[in-house]
A and B are shown apart, each in its own frame.
Chain A
């Protein structure tokens, strides 16, 4: 008989390959007029950090890691002999509430292996969320993993209790999914993502009509997904194209990229070593450029360079390939143009725009708002600063070569194995 602690150990270990731990962006609420505990809304809170650099915001566990599927990249696949456990709904409810009361967590992220069939599994997951909300009036954050093949009605019900729903697309290429996850089907997954999006649209529309009776809530923190990086041969162009389609077609809040982490007893169809963690990092940077900096996928990766440069962040890479775009005159340029300057982030661009309302920007102003001059000087122009084009060209070649030298201090093999630079 496994103790509660044993089960928690197995089922949190089994859940850790999901990168998402966000607890932000849901509707504002608290417990002042409630019968229970919990508040949410605005910025998420990370209650702890583990030495893998990831935050703990939610109690992230599987209901069970028994699974009838055999996805090769997954530690919980049917054919793996990992230890199995199953938590009862009341055990998950009690763990969530008691962790929350001690201020360990913002809420629950519940996922599960598939048992019996998709609908049955989905119903079990929903039951936990419904108990938390209805019986205990829990107002903290709930993220539910949606089982792709679950019925439309169950997905609607899940959104009623959850802040966020997610379905993992798992692999960037449909062929890879067919090969590595025989029971899963990329079209079905996308159809479910589409259904969630449709429900979100209906919910937003219902809210806008300001009805007297509030429409049933539907996942106010939206939906997210995850792609495993480095478990198949997809290149960064495949990955970013897929992410871009998901953002545009279904308004996903986040796409998570999870560097494939070798699992115990891996299948021989999987690569023996992990991809460098820096690849995951570069993908997140590129993802940010797509969502907040106005870049298009083919400006970052394209048919002539299929992968991101591991040695150089994607924005700097773009600047080096497009020297004619610079220098940017910070007193004239549009917000969009300034966002392309390496070393200038969204916040600093907005600061510059604010100062510009009052007077012309000078070099001293940039120092005062603590912008790293070393990084941006080659790319900008100011009232009292006009770089020579020659300077710009020589600067970037120095920058590039010094980076490459640093890289060579480490053997390629070590870098590939530990992912550090």
Chain B
């Protein structure tokens, strides 16, 4: 068995996988191990090959791998290697047909990563801090907990949208910052690092409760799209319980009227 340390990003995985393929080591003889479980120095690192890679993989594989690499499940590396192996040595149409077990698992992971990205676009909430006393300039800071490793992937979206703002998004994995010109990343943070409260938050809550129509309660529909796990970082979620009660009260009085 060949033990390989889990790479920390796709680029190092590609390096590793290229060497493994060139040494023709099949997936069932490779074990991808988290670095903290690696007690022994690897005795047999894959000999680095200076030959250029002679194998071609479809571009679709790299696109797939980019998204899969954002998944939090570390088994993604072994899975990707398995697909790479099959693409090279077995079936180059594997991805197009889309029925292979590993490809399907990847597709599920991709769906989860994409959903997580979409939810991050939606549920990040910024709070404005004054940059200095008496300064009108604001620094918009958000605390967000993505399910997957998507911070870098999401950077362009926020950069293109909030170009003329100074902002930071803090997450447990890593943080990103934009100063109006440049984007940079720093180590993970914790919730206490993020500001509390904001001038507009009360107005937002006012809007949230008044745009709600108590005459049509559909709690399940809300939760499918906005599951409870997101509520802890959404200021408006503190109102949900009381709004549901309001809706239920209305429902009861209406039934009473109907009888």
Interface residues of A (CB under 8 A from B): 4-5, 8-10, 12-13, 15-17, 30-32, 34-39, 43, 45-56, 59-61, 95, 98-99, 101-104, 259, 261-262, 272-274, 277, 351, 354-355, 358-359, 365, 368-369, 413-414, 416-419
Contact = CB atoms under 8 A, between A and B. Distances in A.
Contact of A30 (B142, B161, B206): B161
A4 B126 contact: no
Given A5-B206, A46-B122, A261-B213, A354 B98 contact: yes
Contacts of B146: none
A51 B219 CA distance: 5
A13 B216 contact: no
Contacts of B202: 5
B218 A98 contact: no
Interface in B192-241: 198, 200-204, 206-222, 225-226, 234, 236, 240
A391 to B, nearest CB: 27
Given A12-B210, A52-B247, A34 B163 contact: yes
Given A16-B211, A53-B219, A261-B213, 8 more contacts: A30-B163, A31-B163, A36-B164, A45-B122, A51-B240, A60-B211, A98-B203, A359-B97
B222 A9 contact: no
A9 B218 contact: no
Contact of A101 (B126, B211, B236): B126
B244 interface: yes
B118 A43 contact: yes
B36 to A, nearest CB: 35
Contacts of A48: 122-123, 208, 226, 234, 236
Contacts of A358: 93, 96-97
Contacts of A261: 213, 215-216
A16 B213 contact: yes
Contact of A45 (B121, B206, B213, B236): B121
A52 B213 contact: yes
A9 B98 contact: no
A106 to B, nearest CB: 9
Contact of B160 (A30, A45, A273, A351): A30
Interface in B148-206: 157, 159-165, 198, 200-204, 206
A351 to B, nearest CB: 7
Contacts of A43: 118
A232 B116 CA distance: 43
13 contacts: A12-B211, A35-B164, A39-B161, A45-B122, A46-B122, A51-B240, A51-B247, A52-B212, A52-B222, A52-B247, A277-B216, A369-B98, A419-B216
Which bracket fits the contact residues of B? 35 or more
Given A16-B212, A51-B219, A417 B226 contact: no
B127 A102 contact: yes
A103 B219 contact: no
Which residue among A46, A272, A277, A369 has the maximum number of chain B CB atoms within 10 Å of its CB? A46
Interface of B: 93, 96-99, 104, 118, 121-128, 138, 140, 142, 157, 159-165, 198, 200-204, 206-222, 225-226, 234, 236, 240, 243-244, 247, 251, 254-255, 257-259
B258 A413 contact: yes
Which residue among B125, B127, B203 has the maximum number of chain A CB atoms within 10 Å of its CB? B203
Nearest to A259: B216
B259 to A, nearest CB: 7
Contacts of A99: 200, 203-204, 207
Contacts of B219: 51, 53
A38 B127 CA distance: 17
B243 A51 contact: yes
A50 B126 contact: no
B243 A50 contact: yes
B98 to A, nearest CB: 7
A102 B126 contact: yes
Contacts of B96: 354, 358
Given A12-B207, A50-B243, A54-B213, A277 B162 contact: no
B222 A51 contact: yes
Contact of A37 (B157, B164, B217, B258): B164
A273 to B, nearest CB: 6
A384 B49 CA distance: 49
B216 A53 contact: yes
Contacts of A10: 210
A59 B162 CA distance: 18
Contacts of B258: 273, 413, 416-417
Contacts of A54: 213, 218
Given A32-B160, A37-B163, A39-B161, A413 B259 contact: yes
A355 B215 contact: no
Which residue among B204, B207, B210, B218 has the maximum number of chain A CB atoms within 10 Å of its CB? B207
Given A34-B163, A102-B204, A277-B216, A15 B222 contact: no
A59 B208 CA distance: 10
B93 A417 contact: no
B170 to A, nearest CB: 14
B97 A53 contact: no
A322 B121 CA distance: 44
A8 B208 CA distance: 10
Nearest to A94: B200
A274 B216 CA distance: 10
Contacts of A417: 251, 254-255, 258
Contact of B142 (A32, A56, A103, A414): A103
A46 B224 CA distance: 13
A56 B211 contact: yes
A95 B201 CA distance: 11
Contacts of A35: 164
Nearest to A98: B200
Nearest to A29: B160
Contacts of B226: 48-49
B161 A355 contact: no
Contact of A8 (B97, B98, B210): B210
Contact of B217 (A4, A9, A52, A369): A52
Given A48-B234, A52-B216, A104-B204, A15 B211 contact: yes
Contacts of A101: 126, 128, 138, 140, 162, 165
